Amino acid sequence: MTQIAHIFTEAQIVMPSDSSRTQDLDPIESGAQFMAAQSGAAERILAKHTRRDDGRCAQCSTRTLVTWPCTLANIANRAHMISAGRSAHQKRQSRHP
């Protein structure tokens, strides 16, 4: 989780102090769970971590050349899907009470 923690610090995402319940998840999945819980976090990251014309990540490649999607974009995309899944579920429930 060290790399993820570093990435989250950069993205200004607060890691929960008690992460024991997510120990069995892989770093991407557990990171996405944290990110999905924070409103706008995934959108904020995806806005910066975009694919450049040369196939690198626009944000990560300011330091080293990273092929897009980078780890952070992967996590944000997953978080986005988690959030979208939740709202889709809520819509289904309201449509069919």
Find the angle CA(75)-CA(13)-CA(78) to the nearest 5 degrees. Answer: 15
Minimum distance from CB of 20 to Zn ion (Å)? Answer: 28
Question: Which positions from 59 through 78 interact with Zn ion, judged by CB under 5 A?
Answer: 59-60, 70, 72
Nearer to Zn ion, 63 or 96 (CB): 63
Q: Which of 7, 13, 33, 49 binds Zn ion (CB under 5 A)?
A: 49
Binding site for Zn ion (CB under 5 A): 49, 57, 59-60, 70, 72
